[in-house]
Amino acid sequence: MEIRRGQRVSITELCQCANTQVLHVVLSISGIQDTVDFACFGLNNQQKLSDDRYMTFYNQPNSPCGAVKLIASALGSSTFLCDVAVLPQTIDRLVFTAALNSTETMHDIHNGYVCFLSANQEVARFSFSGSDFHDEKALMLGELYRKDNTWRFNAIGQGFTGGLAALVMHFGGDVIDALPPPVSRISLEKKVAALAPKLVDLAKKATISLEKHRLSATLAQVGLVLDASGSMYAQYDKGKVQQVIERLLPLAVHFDNDGALDVWAFSNKVLALPPATLRNYADYIASAEYGWRQWGMMGINNEPAVIEQVVKHYQNTTLPILIIFISDGGVSQNTVIKKLLVEAAKLPIFWQFVGIGGRNYGILEKLDTLPGRVVDNCGFFALDDINSISEQDLYERLLSEFPLWLEAAKLKGIIQ
């Protein structure tokens, strides 16, 4: 269904089923070089944000009742899960917005849309472009509103003077609480340039992704788990695992004050390696503990053993922890892995699993639907070759779910 500006559509038509009022709402804008801030404002019958907790955005990804959730965020798009049946009676409408915090304007948009998904299928779309606007910095894209005990969608597509802060104030919200102060992007580049000038270009690319995902001021520890089973031999022999170290080190330098990337290798056993730093990163795989050929690995997979060791290593840590877990598949101990990750959900650890050039990833491919966890503490994506994509794309994938976990973990008191 194509929705025109100003058109109003009932939620029954959007869901294509009268028995559900759950929608995925995808907001997308292309052509803008800087970050686009998408948000959903839950307003009362006076069209005001009477409760600041009903502004759902990058810094607050869930509404208090759980009816609105920011479930995915990427460059130029965000996806909200909306269950209007769960909303309290004090919330009369959900307004979806987009805002810029740069010299660009909404006139620079190439294409944009509000898309509705029901049962994972697109059912309706409202499209717009930069020609619809002038020098506006924000947009009211559309709204779900309550009328006569039913919910409807109104395609607004209206430009708004000012950015996200102006939108918050327009709806009666508190700007100070809503918008964290920006942090200078040059600090990471300076740290890297001082000791490892060859990694400066990587640091610049990492900084772009860190700022995009509002992680510039985040303190955390970063760990890397490397599959060293027999099927990974060629990845080590051709230097691809060494390139993984070099690509990930700028993230560790940014997040952690000591600039160290904690490293483990595993096959049938586990080996804790010396932390990778700006001083020892060059030829790390060939030199740490006398080099990978001397690690006594290249056996079969034993993921549970390394997961247990990582958990033990960070058991007294108060900072959030980002673990990047590299595997080429062959995962077989699904039940044990599932149990360990469910138990680890109460800890300040986010597990980002990355499949490279393999198959049979088992439970790792089902982490988004893993039940029994207090928060979603895992992510997974697979690549034919981790070095076949650009550093910018790699950082985007590695960091896309981490900010959502940070906010969820804060709400549950797992991290401060």
Alpha-carbon dihedral 13, 15, 18, 21, rounded to 10 degrees: -120
Q: Give 398's contacts (C-beta < 8 A, 6+ positions apart).
A: 248, 251, 324, 352, 354
pLDDT category, 269, cuts 50, 70, 90?
very high
pTM of the model: 0.59
Mean pLDDT over residues 336-356, rounded?
93
* The predicted structure's pLDDT at residue 205: 86
* The predicted structure's pLDDT at residue 195: 79
Q: What is the mean pLDDT of the chain?
A: 86
* The predicted structure's pLDDT at residue 253: 86
Tokens of 205: 């690319």
339 contacts 372 by C-beta, under 8 angstroms: no
Taken in order of first residue, the domains within the chain and their CATH numbers are 2-178 (2.60.60.30), 186-411 (3.40.50.410)
Distance CA 147, CA 10 (A): 10
Which DSSP category does 180 fall into? P
- pLDDT, one tens digit per residue, over 81-133 is 999 888 999 999 999 999 987 788 999 999 999 999 877 788 899 999 999 88
* Cβ neighbour number for residue 247 with a 10 Å cutoff: 19
pLDDT category, 369, cuts 50, 70, 90?
confident
Distance CA 130, CA 36 (A): 14
236 contacts 244 by C-beta, under 8 angstroms: no
Helix, strand, coil in percent for the chain, rounding step 5: 35, 30, 35
pLDDT category, 174, cuts 50, 70, 90?
low
341 contacts 378 by C-beta, under 8 angstroms: yes
Tokens of 114: 């509000």
Residue 341: pLDDT above 90? yes
Q: Percent of the chain beyond pLDDT 90?
A: 43
- pLDDT, one tens digit per residue, over 325-337 is 999 888 888 899 9
